[in-house]
Structure 1
Amino acid sequence: MTVTEGMNFAGYRIERRLGTGGMGTVFLAQHPRLPRKDALKVLSDAHTGDPVFRARFLREASVAARLAHPNLVAVRDRGQYDGRLWIAMRFVDGVDLAELIRRGPAALPLDRVVRIITEVAKGLDALHRAGLLHRDVKPANILVAEQDGRPDRVLVTDFGIARPVDEPTMSAAAEFSATLDYAAPEQISGGQIDHRADVYALGCVLHELLTGSVPFVRDTPAALLYAHLHEPPPALENPGTPPGFDEVIATALAKDPAERFASCGALAAAVHAAAQATVRIAAIAPPRPATRRRLLTGAALAAVVLVAVTTAVLVGFGGGDSAGPASSATVLGPQTSVDAVSWGAYAYVAQAFPELLPASQFGTGYQEIFACRPVDERLKEVAVDVFAPTADIFCQGNGDPVETLDVVCNADRSPIAPPVTFDRAEGDEHWTRPSGTGNLHWSTYLSRGGKVLGHLRLYFDDPSRNFCYMVVVGSPSGAELRARWWAEAPL
């Protein structure tokens, strides 16, 4: 059966084709009962009768359905219709990263490249924390939703060949499933694969974002395989790229997985450091032989020492154990170290709430709080290295239940107390926990967009935190937000 525009498939009305991948075709489709559109992926005719590919296709739905992360595409349903397997995913109104690369350098200024790599790293690290590997990281599997006046939303998709770290491949035919341009040496050679194969692939994507080309351009598949196995990555030839990116690429694309960044988050942190011309690679990356290229002169060495004294950025990303490969289904606990270099002049805020806020500015915190950044009174982002008498750290939530979190602190450590005229429409309490005491107020309000949201405002009595307060917004009501967030919040 051929799926075409306008037809009914499994109750969905097919509107148009969005793209074709290795295992199937993705269509924009109207949900049969709800007023929404989904991305419907239908297994291709060529693979319908192949039990190996059918199993991989079903695994994509099973793997993705278990994950809830703002940088991973959500799976909503799956099934079989007229002999064809299908899955319904959240429709992302945007383009894949391959399309942005085709638009040329003007579409990918350095700050956008840094953000894209950072967001992809968050999604991949979440996958790895669940004990899963992606194994086919490439621009076509990265979706970018451009938003007016706001940063891009970046999501990783296509988990069709994702599998648990300790699960053997299903057959010889499934032994190698990656796209050759982004395949790690151990995938090609049939060696043991862990999350660092995805680090390698993300390094290839970074190279392509910076130059418009994959690291190894060869005329034949055999030559490409040889390059991944034996040849060093070429030096970047983009004159607009700051110093340090060659070293980042060399580390990400190391032939030996032990010489790569220990997580995708660590790679993203190095990208940010290189973009800021602050070389901290030696502290972020694992030790490598002395013959590898290094950038350890003057200010670079000073930055390395400072990072080593504070903490490794990769811990903030929660991307895995820097000592070696991730174990099967490893789930990391709360991260309490704080990367003072990453947070800059705002490090004292993160240090006051080490289990709530991300250890690195580019990581994720409690209940997947992410995209934390210093802002001014108009919520406009400000430089992290510029001192402000009052610090305001504004974070995004994953919507389950937190939409936003705002932490405000006095730099001089002068106390902040609840205002006398505080709105107590729903409730307030003086709370006591082993960590200290304070005041909590909750209410419900109607946003400018007409959305009903819960609102928490939290104050602290103990001197180590009484110079701060925080505002949490999300859930349908203040009472529900209090029950779902405050009850287990690490404060």
Structure 2
Amino acid sequence: MDVADGVLVAGYRIVRRLGSGGMGTVYLAQHPRLPRWDALKVLDDRHDSDSEFHARFLREAELAARLQHPNLVAVHDRGEDHGRLWIAMQYIDGGDLAGLIRRGPQVLTVERAVRILGDAAAGLDEIHRAGLLHRDVKPANILLTTDADGSDRVLVTDFGVAHPIEDGVKQSGGVATTLAYAAPEQFGDGPVDHRADVYALGCTLYQMLTGSVPFPRTGAGSVMYAHLHEPPPRPSAANPQVPKDFDAVIATAMAKNPADRFASCGALAAAARAALTPTPRRRATRLSVAALVIILVAAAALVGVLSRTTPSQARPVRTPVSGSVDGSQWGAFAYIAQAFPDLLPGFPYGSGYEELSGCLPQDTKYNNVPLDTSLPIGTLFCLGNRDPVIDLEIVCNADRTPIQPGVALADFPEGDEAWSRPSGSGHLFWGHTTFTDTGSDLDGHTTGVLEIFFDRADRNFCRIQVVGTPTTGADLRAAWWPGAPL
């Protein structure tokens, strides 16, 4: 349960919710004695009776407090207040890498991505030198602010699933990480070491270069299968602006066998810098002088032609900033994306609100269809990061006929209400559903469900269904609905 604004926790005055952070919720809080804002993490109420979870939460502060590095968020204090465990951390007045990725390659250039990667790698290597693993490296856990000279300041945060390396970390009953960035060994019972963080950082680099997670899939089982069995994707295939040398960098960082990966995050960053400015020498190693002269002359002539018709000129890539949508990239489904520009990615393979990604166009029978398919009723089905959204589905009438609020689609309705915000109004239903015989990884699991309807003409032809990890609709409503950009 969230802590209300203005409530005191161990003397800290809660100002507002910043987001979820591993095992707890993070708030902006006023320090009780100093003229300073802190980020205060409070343990989730659902873990009150879990003594092992309490121990892990306290250990997070002890482990993180050992670390002093310009690319790591500092831990200031910790304690317990009326049964609620808390940690006070350095507050970073800025955004995170996930938000920067959503703004597209016009803002997050390849050069900038490599610089951010290098700083994040320096922080992670410091964690590893201290004998720790992060185990949840992802864009949302890489914070960004601006230094006095205008450059990015990069800080790695959230050690909620950190473990000492000497623990010989093994999995037991689940994966303590975000699936989109999880190394293959994290799905088994064997030991996990710092190279799992290298893998996750490689996934993060791929997302910086392309706007998409490496394996955008419709279910947790298919994501796990891809990490275990499918080859690492090539960023140059997803984004022609990425030099092809990055394909080998991603392939090494995301190698299935940890022994085949870079030995450290710093080594990955160094390889990315080399890929950004490749040396001509490795392309001419076996050429004779005469052959090289002939090739250079031919290349000079070819450059004149290519300079007049580059791939980017022939097929421009227009990437919108956050809060806008490039309709040309969404095809026949542009009217859906344009109705929810702050929720959905700006382009199909991008990342939207809370890492919403992998948005697939579908027909009314849940079959995937090409983006240029015109349908009377269109659907975009997107994957969440499971914190708390598993998936989100937007269904819209192409002729913009209003969709009237109806009975919630949850098997077990819990409640409903009329809602009103500065952005509009509508109706919200919530409940929960137990999945059976779906053939998906959700079989046997109970999930919270939200159904959202709209009154305004610019959205009333659509409805949204949200399925989340909380087992009740009420919990999903509390975790997601207040901050949803709708």
TM-score when normalising by structure 2: 0.56
Q: Distance in 2 between matches of 1:255 and 1:130?
A: 25
Provide the C-alpha distance between the structure 1 equivalents of 2:101 and 2:53, rounded to a whole number of angstroms. 29
CA shift, 1:150, in A, is: 2.7
> What do residues 431-480 of structure 1 show as CA deviations (whole Å, max 9, x unaligned)?
xxxxxxxxxxxxxxxxxxxxxxxxxxxxxxxxxxxxxxxxxxxxxxxxxx
Cα drift, residue 300 of structure 1:
11
Task: Report matched runs for 1:245-284 at 5 Å.
Answer: 245-278=246-279
Q: Which residue identity does 2:47 align to in structure 1?
A: H
SS in structure 2 opposite 1:166? helix
Query: Secondary structure of the equivalent of 2:106?
Result: helix
Contact 2:169 2:191 (8 Å CA) reproduced: no
CA distance in 1, matches of 2:198, 2:171: 25
Q: Post-superposition shift, 1:50?
A: 1.6
Residue in structure 2 matched with residue 80 of structure 1 by the alignment: 80
Q: Residue 195 of structure 1 corresponds to which residue in structure 2? A: 194
* AA aligned opposite 1:176: V
Q: Please state how far the C-alpha of 1:190 moved relative to its aligned partner.
A: 2.4
Please report how far the alpha carbon of residue 64 of structure 1 lies from its aligned counterpart in structure 2 after TM superposition.
0.6
- Matched residue of 2:118: which SS? helix
| 1:426 corresponds to | none
Contact 1:113–1:209 (CA under 8 A) maintained in structure 2: yes
Give the CA deviation at 1:244. Answer: 0.3
1:298 to 264, 269, 284: 284
For 2:239, the equivalent position in structure 1 comes to: 238
**Equivalent residues of 2:28, 2:37 under 8 A apart:** yes
Question: Which letter does structure 1 place at the counterpart of 2:56?
Answer: R
Partner of 1:211: 210
Listed as ranges, the matches of 1:409-424 within 5 Å are: none
Larger CA deviation: 244-253 vs 6-15 = 6-15
Matched, 1:26 2:12: no
Please tell me whether the aligned partners of residues 52 and 170 of structure 1 are also in contact (alpha carbons under 8 angstroms). Answer: no
Which residue of structure 2 aligns with residue 385 of structure 1? none
Q: 1:297, CA displacement in angstroms?
A: 3.4
* Whole-angstrom distance in 2 between the partners of 1:187 and 1:276: 33
3-state SS of 1:187 partner:
helix
In structure 2, stretches of 5+ residues that fail to align are: 288-486
Q: Show structure 1 runs of 4+ deviating over 3 A.
A: 168-171
Would the aligned equivalents of 1:279 and 1:300 in 2 still touch at CA under 8 Å? no
1:171 offset after TM fit, Å? 7.8
Q: Aligned equivalents of 1:168 and 1:50: distance in 2?
A: 22
Q: Which residue of 1 aligns with 2:140?
A: 140
Match of 1:382? none
- 1:115 maps to which residue? 115
In 1: Cα distance, 2:124 partner to 2:184 partner = 19
Give the superposition deviation at 1:273. Answer: 0.6
Q: Write the distance in 2 (CA, Å) between the matches of 1:203 and 1:134.
A: 14
Compute the displacement of 1:169 (Å).
4.7
Q: Matched residues in 2 for 1:198 and 1:90: separation?
A: 23
For the Cα contact (< 8 Å) 2:15–2:29, is it kept in 1?
Answer: yes
CA contact (8 A) 1:144 1:153 kept: yes
State the Cα distance separating 1:21 from its structure 2 match: 2.9
Partner AA of 1:274 in structure 2? A
Whether the 8 Å CA contact 2:5–2:14 is kept in 1: the answer is yes
Compute the displacement of 1:299 (Å): 5.9
Indicate how the Cα distance of structure 1 residues 239 and 28 shifts in structure 2: closer, same or farther if over 3 A, else same.
same
**TM-score where L is the length of structure 1:** 0.56
Rounded Cα–Cα distance in structure 1 between residues aligned with 2:89 and 2:39? 5
Residues 134-183 of structure 1: CA deviation (Å, up to 9, x unaligned): 1110111110112353311101111111111121458824x620111001
C-alpha distance in structure 1 between counterparts of 2:258 and 2:62, whole Å = 28
Q: Which region of structure 1 is more displaced relative to structure 2, 153-162 or 233-242?
A: 233-242
Q: Hey, what does 2:476 align to over in structure 1?
A: none
Deviation at 1:217, TM superposition (A): 1.1
C-alpha distance in structure 2 between counterparts of 1:45 and 1:199, whole Å: 32
**What is the identity percentage for the equivalent residue pairs of Structure 1 and Structure 2?**
63
- SS of the equivalent of 1:105 reads coil
The aligned length equals: 285
Letter in 2 for 1:156: V
CA offset at residue 239 of structure 1? 1.2
Per the alignment, residue 418 of structure 2 pairs with: none
Tell me which moved more, 85-94 or 45-54: 45-54
**Corresponding residue number in structure 1 for 2:459:** none
Give deviations 1:216-238, integer Å, cap 9, x for gaps.
Answer: 11111111111101110122221
- Determine the structure 2 residue equivalent to 1:176: 175
1:240-268 CA-to-partner distances (Å, cap 9, x unmatched) read 11220000000000001111111000000
Closer/same/farther in 2, CA of residues 300 and 193 from structure 1, 3 Å limit: farther
Give the match for residue 219 of structure 2. Answer: 220
- 1:409-452 C-alpha deviation (Å, 9 max, x unpaired): xxxxxxxxxxxxxxxxxxxxxxxxxxxxxxxxxxxxxxxxxxxx
Distance 2:147 2:74 in 1: 19
Distance 2:17 2:275 in 1: 39
Distance between the aligned counterparts of 2:171 and 2:113, measured in 1?
37
**Structure 1 unpaired stretches of 5+:** 281-295, 302-491
Q: Within 5 A, what are the aligned runs for 1:9-20?
A: 9-20=9-20
| Residue 16 of structure 1: how far off its partner (Å) | 1.1
Partners of 1:59 and 1:160 within 8 A in 2 = no
Q: Using the alignment, how far apart are the partners of 2:280 and 2:93 within structure 1?
A: 36
